[in-house]
Amino acid sequence: MGFALKDTRAAVEAYLAALNAHDADAVAACVAEDFVNEHTSSTGISRRGRAEYRAALTGFLENFGDLHYAPERFLVDGESAAVPYVMTFRMRSAGDRPVRVRGVFLFTVAGGLITRRTDYWDSGEVRRQLA
C-alpha cells in the first residue's frame, strides 16, 4: 500500500474514531480549514469551513445520542476514499428513539486532513423509523 493510501485511510479512520467518541473538537481537528461537508439528503445541512462545521457539531452530537458509525469497508484510491457505513443512534429530540441507517461517505484528503466529505444516506428511512 502506498504512502498516500495509508495517509488517506489513517485520516478517515481518525475522523470516524473522533465521531464515535462524540468529541467535537477531535472531529474538527481532522478536517482542513476550508473543509466542505456536503449532505445529499434532503434533511442534511451542508457546511463550509472548519469553524462552521465545528459550530454545528455540538448540537448534532447532542441530538444523536450513542452515535456510532460502523464502517463496512474502506475503498481508497490515492487521496480519495469511499466508506459504506451503518450509522446507529438514539434521536434525543424524538424521545430517544433508536435509528439504524446505511450510508456512504466519500472523502478527499490532503496533507493528512479531510478537505471534503460527501454523505449519502436515506433521510426517508430515518423519518420512517421515527414515525
| Residue 42 scores a pLDDT above 80 | no
User: pLDDT value at position 22?
Assistant: 96
Domain formed by 3-130, architecture: Roll (3.10)
User: pLDDT value at position 39?
Assistant: 87
Q: Which amino acid is at 9?
A: R
Is residue 118 within 8 A of residue 103, CB to CB? The reply is no
Return the higher-pLDDT residue of 3 and 86: 86
User: pLDDT value at position 17?
Assistant: 98
For 125, the grid coordinates are 428511512
Q: What is the pTM of this model?
A: 0.92
Give the rounded percent of residues in the chain with a pLDDT score beyond 70. 96
User: pLDDT value at position 5?
Assistant: 64
| Banded model confidence at residue 45, pLDDT cuts 50, 70, 90 | confident
Nearest to 80 by CA among 104, 49, 106, 111: 106
Where are the domains positioned within the chain?
3-130
Mean per-residue pLDDT, 37-49: 86
- Rounded (10°) CA dihedral 40, 54, 16, 105: 10
Nearest to 12 by CA among 64, 60, 81, 77: 81
Q: Which amino acid is at 87?
A: M
Give the rounded percent of residues in the chain with a pLDDT score beyond 90. 87
